[in-house]
Amino acid sequence: MKPAKLYETLADAIASQVAQGVLREGERIPSVRQTAQHHQLSISTVIRAFLLLESRGIIEARPQSGYFVRRRPDTPVRKDAISAPLSPADLARAPALDTSTLVLTTLRSIGQGSIPLGSPFPDPAAFPWARLNYHAGVVSRRVGQNQQLSDLPPGNPELIRQIARRHLENGLTVDAAEIIITTGATEAINLCLQAVAQPGDLVAVESPTYYALLQALERMGMRVLEVATDPEQGIDIAALESAIVNQGVKACILMPNFQNPLGFMMSDERKRALVEMLARHDVPAIENDVYHELYYGDTHPSSLKQYDRHGLVLHCNSFSKSLDTGHRIGWTLPGRYRAQVEKLKFLNSLNTAALPQLAIAEYLKNDGYDFHLRKLRKAYAQQAAIMSAAVRRFFPPGTSVTQPAGGYLLWVTMPPSVRALELYARAQERGISVGAGNMFATGDAWQHCIRLNYSYPWSADVEAAVRMLGQLAGELTAS
């Protein structure tokens, strides 16, 4: 067992005070700054400890007020049946826990009255809920009248047909027989990863990349190689090839269109070059294309799958970012790994819910998906421009910001002295969430970067939040 880290010891000490009633329910605890001074610890150590206590449900942050001891819920309590909080031993067993804690508390702040600039999810208000629900009603009635409800792999045939049709319309020739419906792109990627690599294998990813991917690789016991990625061009193909040749990379996972968090779209030429390079080395690539529909230009971006001649590109996709964020319906085109992926899907017994599949198929067949998408793309393009301008205006000199060609995520690189983790903590106290750069890599490469979500309509509140963030960042350049 590893020796307890400083922040764990501090968290335990505070938890102990709560348990003993020294700090009482509802009471405000000393601030980050006060605690740091009192215990002679760094601000970032105290922040980590507070994050941990938050994730254990012992304290909670209240905007504009500070941190408070959480009240227990007032339903009857069976004390002996409630599990104990995570012990230092538990924490020692999970080396990535402080990053997952950061992610968890960032995600938890969504919907608690804060401006969710740190959220990875699109504003749900922009989606065609009434239409989706109408179609869900139509299919519900059929089920009530004896239509079978089957959720077996590979998935609902009509939905598969609709997905294949849309791919064809967008320039990707697809055999419907290749498609497997999954519970979101998350499950698609999990299954594909299990099909192409084993525990201990080295898997290459972009750097930065989105946190859940790093989490999945760690959970599966695979080793991660983070490859240099240009904020506009995408992954460094030569560096990836070198890693394949010299370090034995077994597979890679890429997001060529509106990558989370950098927002780039790889050019057609680079996509082709990348796929051809991988084919030369017989290395499979899992392509996460969930933002595909959210382009600002006039034409669909291409997918890596379009350049694949060997069944080596496993295309993973989802409706969650462009149509239905309330259910989790995704799919994969796993190339030569199709049989394994279907087998893994079946063996997992986690069949993808049948009704949302039917409802989405009905919507795609009968309703205005492209009409909805055109409105969405236009709104996002406008909001991208407004938020970029606001960041350039309010953040300290030396701050750069990406210019996404699609999606709804902005990547902000601040002066090196500004620690995203501290900005995160100060912003939380003011009811604003950001995506701290620390979440997007295994090391500290992006510790002075943040990701901002601009899917929400611009408003005085959002502008005030961005101005505040810039002000806080400015304060942190001086410290």
Residues 174, 175, 177, 178: what is their CA dihedral angle, to the nearest 10 degrees?
A: -40
Q: Which of 387, 390, 385, 389 is nearest to 405 (CA)?
A: 385
Pick 48 or 419: Cβ nearer a second copy: 48
Restricted to residues 252-281, the positions that interact with a second copy (CB under 8 A) are none
Which of 7, 67, 127, 291 contacts a second copy by CB under 8 A?
127
The distance of closest approach from Cβ of residue 104 to a second copy in the complex, given in angstroms and rounded to an integer, is 6
CB 24 within 8 A of CB 69: yes
Taking the CA atoms of 186, 190, 196 and 197 in sequence, report the sign of the dihedral they define: positive
Report the nearest approach of a second copy to the CB of residue 227 (Å): 22
User: Site residues for a second copy, window 276-305 (CB under 8 A)?
Assistant: none
Interaction between residue 224 and a second copy (CB under 8 A): no
Member of 68, 121, 307, 458 binding a second copy (CB under 8 A): 121
* Binding of residue 228 to a second copy (CB under 8 A): no
Q: How far apart are CA 12 and CA 97, in angstroms?
A: 15
Question: What part of residues 87-116 is at the interface with a second copy (CB under 8 A)?
Answer: 90, 94, 100, 104, 107-108, 110-111, 116
Give me the DSSP letters along 134-147.
HHHHHHHHHHHTT-
Minimum distance between the CB of residue 217 and a second copy, rounded to whole angstroms?
Answer: 11
CB of 168 to a second copy, least distance (A): 8
x/- mask, a second copy, residues 158-187, rule CB under 8 A, reads ------x--------xxxxxx----xx-xx
Q: Tell which positions 306-365 bind a second copy, by CB under 8 A.
A: 308-311, 325-328, 334-340, 343, 346-351, 353-356, 358
Cβ neighbours around 17 below 10 Å, total: 15
From 86, 188, 255, 275, residue interacting with a second copy (rule: CB under 8 A)? 86
On the question of a cis peptide bond just before residue 261, with omega within 30 degrees of 0, the verdict is yes
Total chain residues near a second copy (CB under 8 A): 89
Judged by CB under 8 A, the chain residues 56 through 75 that form the site for a second copy are 56-57, 72-73, 75
Edge-to-edge strands, sheet with 435-436: 400-401, 409-413, 449-453, 435-436
The yes or no reply on residue 80 touching a second copy (CB under 8 A) is yes
Q: Looking at the DSSP assignment, which residues form a beta bridge with residue 59?
A: 69
Q: Does 141 bind a second copy (CB under 8 A)?
A: yes
* Beta-carbon count within 10 A of 445 CB: 15
DSSP state of 302: P
Residue among 337, 269, 336 nearest 304 (CA): 269
Q: Is the Cβ of residue 33 or residue 310 nearer to a second copy in the bound state?
A: 310
Q: How far is the CB of 458 from a second copy (least distance, A)?
A: 15
Minimum Å gap between C-beta 363 and a second copy is 13
Contact 419, 393 (CB under 8 A): no
CB-wise, 383 or 402, nearer to a second copy? 383
215 vs 442 by CB, closer to a second copy: 215
Measure CA 461 to chain center.
24
Q: How far is the CB of 157 from a second copy (least distance, A)?
A: 10
SS3 226: strand
Rg of the chain over Cα atoms, rounded to whole angstroms, equals 23
Tokens (6 digits) for 40: 């002679």
Least Å distance, CB 137 to a second copy, is: 5
What's the min distance (Å) between Cβ of 108 and a second copy? 6
**Who contacts 6 (Cβ-Cβ below 8 Å, separation ≥6)?**
41, 45
Comparison of 180 and 265: residue with beta carbon closer to a second copy? 180
CB of 478 to a second copy, least distance (A): 35
Using the minimum distance from each CB to a second copy, give the nearer residue, 34 or 87. 87
Q: Is 371 in the site for a second copy (CB under 8 A)?
A: no
Q: Which of 290, 288, 473, 305 is nearest to 399 (CA)?
A: 473
Residue 77 has a CB neighbour count (10 Å cut-off) of 10
